[in-house]
């Protein structure tokens, strides 16, 4: 028999025995539990009133993309007495998100024999049973289990650490031997400083590539959650962006959006020493909603790492002046377009997320400030930043985002190694000579 899987995390459901009737199929990660056809009679006190209430809400059910764990058909989303759940028309089973069974029993009381359902205990038992099962399989002879992400990460850390250690010893020995048999062919000069800077820059690029690799692995390791099943902690969601209050306007073009980021740069210097200097930069602070077929959740974008596709650039030069909307935006930021020598050469950058645009968010689900009751649904949560955890907002799909990170990872890593090797070759060729 094929094990049923949690619709949210795709992990095997764990059967937990109960004192009220049949065993329940429970997600060991706490996303929800499954009721087969007729099992609601055992676990909701006044199940007759519940079924009457469901029958009286005709037309409320909405077909979702979530597949039934029993028969893999598309389930329908229903709401009764402010409690949402998923049901399957094919096998007549129910998927109840975390806390839904408790709320149904609090609403539909009145049975001759009161039903006391401790959901916390159910999920704790499921987690304990899953842990025991994993240990049994792990230690059973002749069976191999896939390594966890953490184990794989530690393997590569140790592998590269050992490789770098051995390589460092060999490199140091080679350098020592080379220096004993070589002399400076020319004294260090400005090009030598450029070579040193290039070598350090190469190491920096390689380190950036390594960090991008870790970010890519993190995104791959976290399953995408439906908004209804969000739990506290690091989560990954995908859905449509919607404004919390009113639609915003991008600062320089006035494009209607739910979020924007901007930067203003001024060209300073002259001749070969011309450069762009950042005057100011920032993002909008108003939160926005992300919605999917199961609900919506608030996203607080402060301190997020932004990976947005389209960047609009407006600048003034000898070809023309800044548009009026851009000048108005600069005035709101307190930036003058003139100085005592005349007009400044400015470059204004902005990126934004349009209303109803598809967005990807990786961040920490947290309880709203002031919430004192037990958190059991997405309406009491928001996604924001926390110390020590990634917080990414992107208008790319997860697949496109992984591809974007992969290409940048290889570009930084290979470019860093190539730059470092080139600088070292030039250094050896032009600044050292062998003693005969």
Give the model's pLDDT for residue 216.
83
Residues of the chain below pLDDT 70: 1-2, 19-21, 55-61, 110-117, 134-186, 317-320, 340-341, 368-379, 432-436
Give the model's pLDDT for residue 57.
54
The alpha carbon dihedral of 137, 140, 146, 147 has a sign of positive
Please report, for the chain, the start and end positions of each structural domain, with discontinuous segments joined by +.
14-139, 149-206+413-434, 214-398
Give the model's pLDDT for residue 20.
58
Give the model's pLDDT for residue 290.
93
Give the model's pLDDT for residue 414.
85
Query: If DSSP codes are grouped into helix, strand and coil, which group holds residue 240?
Result: strand
CA atoms within a 13 Å half-sphere pointing along the CA-CB vector of 412: 18
5-26 burial, b for 16+ CB within 10 Å, e for fewer? bbbbbeebbbbbebeeeeebbb
Beta-strand relationship, 392-394 and 305-307: parallel
Provide the token pair at 356: 């109803």
* Overall pTM > 0.85: no
Query: If DSSP codes are grouped into helix, strand and coil, which group holds residue 373?
Result: coil
Give the model's pLDDT for residue 398.
84
Query: If DSSP codes are grouped into helix, strand and coil, which group holds residue 160?
Result: helix
Predicted confidence (pLDDT) per residue in 277-303, tens digit = 999 999 998 899 999 888 889 999 988
């Amino acid at each position: 028999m094929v094990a049923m899987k949690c619709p949210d995390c795709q992990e095997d459901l764990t059967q937990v025995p109960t004192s009220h009737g049949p065993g329940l199929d429970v997600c060991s990660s706490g996303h929800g539990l499954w009721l087969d056809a007729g099992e609601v009679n055992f676990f909701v006190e006044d199940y007759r009133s519940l079924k009457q209430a469901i029958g009286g809400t005709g037309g409320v059910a909405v077909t979702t993309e979530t597949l039934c764990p029993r028969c893999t058909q598309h389930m329908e989303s229903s709401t009764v007495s402010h409690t949402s759940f998923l049901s399957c028309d094919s096998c007549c089973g129910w998927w109840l998100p975390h806390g839904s069974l408790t709320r149904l029993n609090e609403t539909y009381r009145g049975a001759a024999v009161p039903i006391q359902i401790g959901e916390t205990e159910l999920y704790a038992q499921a987690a304990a049973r899953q842990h025991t099962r994993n240990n049994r399989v792990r230690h059973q002879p002749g069976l191999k289990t896939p390594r966890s992400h953490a184990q794989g990460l530690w393997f590569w850390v140790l592998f590269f650490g050992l490789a770098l250690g051995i390589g460092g010893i060999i490199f140091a020995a080679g350098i020592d031997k080379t220096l004993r048999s070589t002399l400076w062919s020319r004294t260090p000069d400005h090009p030598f400083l450029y070579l040193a800077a290039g070598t350090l820059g190469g190491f920096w690029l390689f380190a950036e590539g390594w960090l991008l690799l870790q970010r890519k692995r993190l995104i791959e390791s976290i399953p995408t959650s439906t908004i209804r099943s969000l739990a506290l902690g690091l989560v990954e969601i995908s859905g449509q962006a919607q404004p919390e209050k009113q639609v915003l306007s991008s600062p320089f073009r006035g494009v209607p959006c739910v979020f924007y980021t901007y930067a203003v740069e001024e060209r300073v210097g002259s001749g070969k020493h011309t450069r762009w200097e950042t005057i100011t930069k920032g993002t909008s602070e108003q939160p926005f909603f992300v919605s999917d077929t199961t609900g919506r959740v608030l996203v607080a974008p402060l301190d997020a790492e932004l990976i947005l596709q389209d960047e609009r650039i407006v600048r003034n030069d000898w070809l023309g002046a800044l548009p009026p909307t851009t000048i108005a935006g600069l005035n709101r930021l307190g930036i003058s377009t003139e100085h005592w020598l005349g007009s400044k050469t400015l470059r204004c950058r902005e990126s934004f997320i349009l209303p109803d645009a598809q967005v990807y968010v990786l961040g920490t689900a947290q309880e709203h400030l002031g919430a004192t009751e037990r958190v059991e649904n997405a309406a009491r949560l928001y996604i924001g930043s926390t110390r020590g955890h990634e917080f990414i907002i992107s208008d790319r799909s997860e697949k496109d985002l992984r591809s974007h990170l992969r290409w940048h990872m290889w570009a930084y890593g290979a470019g860093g190694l190539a730059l470092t090797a080139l600088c070292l070759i030039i250094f050896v060729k032009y600044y050292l000579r062998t003693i005969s």
